[in-house]
Amino acid sequence: MQQNPFLLSLLFILVIVPGVCWLGYRILAKWHPFYTMRPVRIFYWSVTGLSLAIILLSRRFRPAESLTGEFIRGLLYVSYTWIIGLLLLMALLFLLHITRDTAKRFCKAKAAAVNGNGYEGITRRQFIQGVAAAVPALPFTGSGFGIFNGDREIVLSRHEIHLPGLPPEFDRLKVAQVSDAHIGPFFGMSKLERVLAMVEGEKPDFLAITGDLVDDLDLLAPTMERLNRFHALLPHGIYYCWGNHEYFRDINRIRRAVAASPVTLIENDACKVLDGNRPLFLLGVDYPWARGGANQSIVRENYFAQAARKLPAAAFPVLLAHHPDFFDNAFAAGIPLSLSGHTHGGQIAVGGKSIFPVQYKYMRGMYRNGASYGYVNVGAGHWLPFRIGCPAEVAVFTLRSGDLGGKVGLKVDKECGSQVAGFHINSGIVPGGNSIADG
Instruction: Say what the pLDDT of residue 75 is.
Output: 87
Instruction: Say what the pLDDT of residue 237 is.
Output: 97
pLDDT at 206 over 80: yes
Over residues 115-143, the mean pLDDT reads 63
Check residue 114 and report its DSSP letter.
B
243-257, 355-369, 376-390, range with the lowest pLDDT: 355-369
In CATH, the architecture of 155-401 is 4-Layer Sandwich (3.60)
Average pLDDT, the chain: 82
Instruction: Say what the pLDDT of residue 123 is.
Output: 57
Dihedral in degrees, nearest 10, Cα atoms 359, 360, 362, 363: -40
Tell me the pLDDT tens digit for each residue of 268-278. Answer: 999 999 998 89
Beta bridge partners of 435: 367
pLDDT at 293 over 80: no
pLDDT-derived band at 101, boundaries 50, 70, 90: low
pLDDT-derived band at 134, boundaries 50, 70, 90: low
Portions of the chain given CATH number 3.60.21.10? 155-401
pLDDT-derived band at 334, boundaries 50, 70, 90: very high
pLDDT at 62 over 80: no
Check residue 122 and report its DSSP letter.
P
Tell me the pLDDT tens digit for each residue of 379-420. Answer: 999 988 899 999 999 999 999 997 665 555 444 444 443 223
pLDDT at 421 over 60: no
E-assigned strand segments in 68-201: 153-163, 173-178
Look up the pTM and report it: 0.83
Report which listed range, 29-38, 165-174, 417-426, is most confident.
Answer: 165-174
Return the SS3 of 376.
strand
pLDDT-derived band at 432, boundaries 50, 70, 90: very low
pLDDT-derived band at 110, boundaries 50, 70, 90: very low
Nearest to 342 by CA among 220, 211, 151: 211
Instruction: Say what the pLDDT of residue 104 is.
Output: 64
pLDDT at 431 over 50: no
189-202 and 220-231 are packed helices; what angle lies between their axes, rounded to 10 degrees?
Answer: 20
